[in-house]
Structure 1
Amino acid sequence: MARVRLPISVVAAVLAVLGLPVAPAQAADRAGPGGRPYDGTVVATDSGRVRGSSQDGYRSFQGIPYAAPPVGDLRWRDPQPVTAWSGVRPVSTPGSPCLQSTGTGLLGSEDCLYLNVTTPARAAHRPVVVWLHGGGFSTGAGSDYDPHRMAVAGDVVVVTVNYRLGVLGGFGYPGLAGSGDFGLADQQAALRWVRRNAAAFGGDPGNVTLAGQSAGGMSVCSQLTSPSAAGLFDKALIQSGSCLINYPDDLFFPGMSAGSPWTTRTAVEAAGSAFAGTVGCAGLDCLRQKPAADLLRADLAGPAHGGFAKPAYGTALLPEEPAAALRAGRFHRVPVLEGGNRDEHRGWAAALNAGWTITADRYRQLLTAAFGDRAAAVAAQYPVSAYPSPAVAWATVATDRIWSCPTLTGEQLMARHTRLYAYEFADRSAPLQPGSVPGFPYGAYHAAELPYLFDLTGWPITLTPEQQGLSREMIAAWSAFATTGRPWPRLRDPADTRLFAPGEPGTVDLGTEHDCGFWSGF
């Protein structure tokens, strides 16, 4: 079938949306104590004492190292233990984000394996939520997410985590132990740190929820199916990152081949061999001597515009693709809360439409590229006349086919073996991210729920009174799941999906809302 070809400027714009980072992660100086010490702000970890800061109703500890800096000979190796320190280490400002592109330059450092702990002021034996950021496995940082509202209102300890990204987190090479999974290995190291140290911060090390959104949610999926993650967490919370996400040619965006958020070890090692040649290296020793920034620039300049942004399976850490593991029932039997947003793909549609207007003819062209001789059936199910524009029609097709229906299928698979709690976020007036396309109806787009749970770096927002109520409702539900593992009735039918929208308490039938019966044949 004919593929859709776009101008390179449009491809670059849409690629910038792919990771959907909340905002460029902010590097910070870790050196200063950030003011006078407060009672309860000095905590003894297993590597040494740290001094955080005390705020109104909570304590904050930022930039705690959970593994040794993965630099020099430790580049592309599993995370190693931190060297213990003497005295009291100030941790009132975040550590460096992991090296990444901002779109206009580079940000961060290889020395980035830090986490941040936010805990209620007088916490003791409280549930722990470990948050994995999104960003397409290529951007983002734990410090982008300020969880103090959840910590205080939900009475939980929240840990946000940095993990290696892009060519430093997903690189593979023949014979390299851990090929393709260094970022996932970092996440497991952080979980082990939490098991060892949560109690010192007022957390319950036996009640840990692993949570994440987008690539963070896909990371949770990966850990659910990773043998080496067994026993590292007690519940899982997945936002817009189903284990079953997949897409045909050109549907995620034009020019993107069919696939999923994961790749094979064989593929990533072949890509690594080819990449070594482009930077003038014949082996790992040479590659480890290259400046990290040079490697990232070379990766971004390649034909894939960043070719190591997918975790690999067929590895010791991830023996099989999470979708296959889920279908076979091979995942850790912990309670799961999972869901997504009603209009996930509208952000990508807006970015595409801004540089390549999606007309009715182009809508049909996009459907033909993705579905071939079945495009007419899709067009009949999603007629342009039923939507505000052809761009919204295309976004709805992509939302249902890529996001919502695979999410429902994954939920039903997990519900056979464990308690599964499903939700959909549907506030179509949610605050927009900086840089959004003016006038486009984003609806409940990918990442739109995040300001209801966190304060976000670079994303100042004001929620309406109704939205503030929805935020309180969501924080209460997320915290209830972290506390008891039973936030609302478990999923037994697609209609048991909890709806989060202002003034619309209740449930929604996810299968009906997203035409999943139609897509079951695809």
Structure 2
Amino acid sequence: MPADSSRRLFLQQGLTLSASALLPSLSWADATPATRVTVAQGVLQGTQDPDGTLVWRGVPFARPPRGELRFKAPQPLQAWHAPRLADAYGPWAVQQPYPPVAQEKPKGDEDCLYLNVWAPARAASHKRPVMVWFHGGAFVLGSGADPRFMGADYANRGDLVFVTLNYRMGGFGFLAVSDEPGAANLGLLDQIAALRWVRDNIGAFGGDPGNVTLMGESAGAMSIGCLLGAPAAKGLFARVIIQSGGARPLFDGDEPAQVLRQVLKVAGLADDQAHRLQDLPVAELNNLFIQVAARSNTPLLGGEAYHPAVDGSLLPRHPLENLTPVPALIGHCRDESGLFVAGKAVNLLEGLPARVRAKVGEATWAKLVATYQRTTAPGGDWQRELFSDTFVGVPALRLADRLVAAGAPVWAYRFDYAQAGPYGPCHGSDIPYTFGLGQPGKGPGSFSASERALSEQMRDSFIAFARTGNPQTAALLTWPRHDEQYLSYLRFDTPVTLAHDYLGHARRAAWQPAPLTAL
């Protein structure tokens, strides 16, 4: 495949910034009672899609974080007096290309704190379960309005309410510009603000605020892993679905201050002039963030320049030391590295191993390398396998183990379908199957019969988990819970099978000395 085609598919498949067409504006003549709801701030008027699904797009959940509110925690919305149309998606958060390259004008807007709600049109005698989707994108790009994440299928197939949301990213969401509590984790604070809005208002859409399942992939899943250890998020959700994530990546100690100093240096500012970032034009500020990200293959940044931090405030300790023990469904893809290798994401491929090596020390790193070289099957690539486990495999296992130790029921899976795309079962390749969208780049209807069955099995197990706290369905094999002795997991493949211990004893032993902060 030519290099430009490879990069294009990389962006489409994994960390995409997709164009999202806005719906035409409605007139009040189009309104129906079912699409008119009253929330805490006033009346919202949604739409009914051609398939019958009720949808409210572009619903604000906090004030726009721009101007004096840039680098501030999300602020409560003011009420509106006239009914507000919710017929078009709100702006995406300011985007940074991945891999990082300079851009003249950033896509997205600082006015980005919006969510979207889908609900079935049919009446229900009870409040419906709620699923809230956290999009991925390396903490620098993506949106809840991405057309890959539409909620109609889940709403109708599962008879539930489905929500997607935006949050600030890059330096806008994860740069500790001030000393205010939570300043290093504004993106997480945005997510919490959205979940509080869901708690307070989802009943108006037919949802049960006491039965909320968080679901996310990549940076979205990693965000959820962090929120499991955030006291401010406790009580806002009942269970979680983690796809290619864990409680990582996390800065700690003075690392957030070191990142800020790098941004200030690129900006030509002194260490005590962080306040001047407040007044820079958004395009200039975003390019400063991109310049730092482009140099991120260092032990400090690890190829991921902007992400959450153990800040002593929102995250008082490492999340794995402070978990809320809720039921969890935790999975990842067999070859997470494939997307990044194909997309030539050099900063991450070099930076993440450099960071882990510095954290674990030379002796443990040498043992890891030797173990992966010894245990990689003939024809395999030990470096890719080590990267995949560093990026997601080990963090996912550690999160599962810690949740079980805290008393939570956990089920583990791995997405193994080799024909999921041109790069196999790599990072992001499970998303089309998660949402039933068809093969990447080919669209609806492009699944074969066996692929359609695989997608339906995945969606039905996620729906069952959201409804009951157990992913078992009649169509699946008996799915044992995760425990540290048997390490059972379900392989989503054609056919679906059960397996045990995806890391293997030797690799688990080699990772044992690695501190929590290493991953």
Tell me how far 1:475 sits from its aligned partner. 1.0
Look up the match of 2:256: 268
State how many pairs are aligned: 465
1:48 and 2:42 aligned: yes
- 2:157 alignment partner, one of 153, 159, 183: 153
CA distance in 2, matches of 1:153, 1:467: 18
Q: Does the CA contact (< 8 Å) of 1:345 and 1:446 recur in 2? A: yes
- Segments of 5+ residues of structure 2 without an aligned counterpart are 351-361, 473-479, 515-519
Tell me how far 1:291 sits from its aligned partner. 1.2
Look up the match of 2:495: 503
Look up the match of 1:410: 399
Tell me how far 1:122 sits from its aligned partner. 2.4
SS at match of 2:34: coil
Distance change (3 Å), C-alpha of 1:514 and 1:79: farther
Distance change (3 Å), C-alpha of 1:214 and 1:353: closer
Look up the match of 1:451: 432
Distance change (3 Å), C-alpha of 1:448 and 1:373: closer
Q: Does the CA contact (< 8 Å) of 1:173 and 1:270 recur in 2? A: no
Q: Does the CA contact (< 8 Å) of 1:123 and 1:201 recur in 2? A: no
Q: Does the CA contact (< 8 Å) of 1:18 and 1:348 recur in 2? A: no
- 1:466 alignment partner, one of 450, 454, 478: 450
Look up the match of 1:297: 287
Q: Does the CA contact (< 8 Å) of 1:17 and 1:347 recur in 2? A: yes
SS at match of 2:208: strand
Distance change (3 Å), C-alpha of 1:319 and 1:54: same
Look up the match of 2:267: 279
Tell me how far 1:59 sits from its aligned partner. 1.1
Q: Does the CA contact (< 8 Å) of 1:119 and 1:158 recur in 2? A: yes
CA distance in 1, matches of 2:23, 2:79: 17
CA distance in 1, matches of 2:250, 2:278: 25
Tell me how far 1:44 sits from its aligned partner. 1.2
> Which structure is higher in RCO with an 8 Å CA cutoff and minimum separation 6?
1
Distance change (3 Å), C-alpha of 1:177 and 1:512: closer
Tell me how far 1:456 sits from its aligned partner. 6.7
Tell me how far 1:513 sits from its aligned partner. 9.9
CA distance in 2, matches of 1:49, 1:31: 20
Look up the match of 2:481: 490
Distance change (3 Å), C-alpha of 1:347 and 1:407: same
Tell me how far 1:85 sits from its aligned partner. 1.4
Tell me how far 1:265 sits from its aligned partner. 5.7
Q: Does the CA contact (< 8 Å) of 1:382 and 1:397 recur in 2? A: no
Q: Which aligned pairs between 1:77-476 and structure 2 lie closer than 5 A? A: 77-102=72-97, 105=103, 106-122=106-122, 124=124, 125-144=127-146, 145-173=149-177, 175-243=179-247, 261-264=249-252, 266-281=254-269, 283-302=273-292, 304-305=294-295, 308-323=305-320, 325=321, 330-352=322-344, 371-372=365-366, 375-382=369-376, 386-387=378-379, 392-416=381-405, 417-432=407-422, 442-454=423-435, 459-461=441-443, 462-476=446-460
Is the deviation greater in 420-429 or in 96-105? 96-105
Look up the match of 1:36: 30
Q: Does the CA contact (< 8 Å) of 2:417 and 2:424 recur in 1? A: yes
Tell me how far 1:271 sits from its aligned partner. 2.5
CA distance in 1, matches of 2:208, 2:34: 17
- Segments of 5+ residues of structure 1 without an aligned counterpart are 1-9, 246-260, 359-367, 433-441
SS at match of 2:201: helix
AA at the equivalent of 2:208 = D
Q: Does the CA contact (< 8 Å) of 1:20 and 1:136 recur in 2? A: no
Look up the match of 2:19: 26
Distance change (3 Å), C-alpha of 1:227 and 1:39: same
Tell me how far 1:263 sits from its aligned partner. 0.6
TM-score (norm 1): 0.81
Cα deviation 1:219-250 (Å, max 9, x = unaligned): 0011100011111111111111012x5xxxxx
Tell me how far 1:340 sits from its aligned partner. 0.9
CA distance in 2, matches of 1:230, 1:399: 30
CA distance in 1, matches of 2:466, 2:368: 43
Cα deviation 1:157-211 (Å, max 9, x = unaligned): 1110100000100111352432210000000000000001111111101101112
SS at match of 1:387: coil
Distance change (3 Å), C-alpha of 1:274 and 1:446: closer
TM-score (norm 2): 0.81
CA distance in 1, matches of 2:261, 2:394: 36
CA distance in 2, matches of 1:274, 1:521: 31
Cα deviation 1:15-59 (Å, max 9, x = unaligned): x96997442143666882388224411111111212222121421
Cα deviation 1:433-457 (Å, max 9, x = unaligned): xxxxxxxxx2211111111122679
Tell me how far 1:127 sits from its aligned partner. 0.5
Tell me how far 1:121 sits from its aligned partner. 1.5
SS at match of 2:284: helix
Q: Does the CA contact (< 8 Å) of 2:198 and 2:209 recur in 1? A: yes
CA distance in 1, matches of 2:449, 2:331: 24
Q: Which aligned pairs between 1:3-14 and structure 2 lie closer than 5 A? A: none
Tell me how far 1:77 sits from its aligned partner. 0.8
CA distance in 1, matches of 2:335, 2:394: 12
Tell me how far 1:126 sits from its aligned partner. 0.6
Q: Does the CA contact (< 8 Å) of 1:17 and 1:351 recur in 2? A: yes
What percentage of residue pairs aligned between the two structures are identical? 33
CA distance in 2, matches of 1:152, 1:303: 40
Q: Does the CA contact (< 8 Å) of 1:404 and 1:514 recur in 2? A: no
RMSD between superposed Cα atoms in Å: 3.3
CA distance in 1, matches of 2:258, 2:199: 36
Distance change (3 Å), C-alpha of 1:133 and 1:369: farther
CA distance in 2, matches of 1:312, 1:20: 28
CA distance in 1, matches of 2:130, 2:433: 19
Look up the match of 1:250: none
Cα deviation 1:397-449 (Å, max 9, x = unaligned): 322344324422331221122111111111111135xxxxxxxxx22111111
Tell me how far 1:382 sits from its aligned partner. 2.1
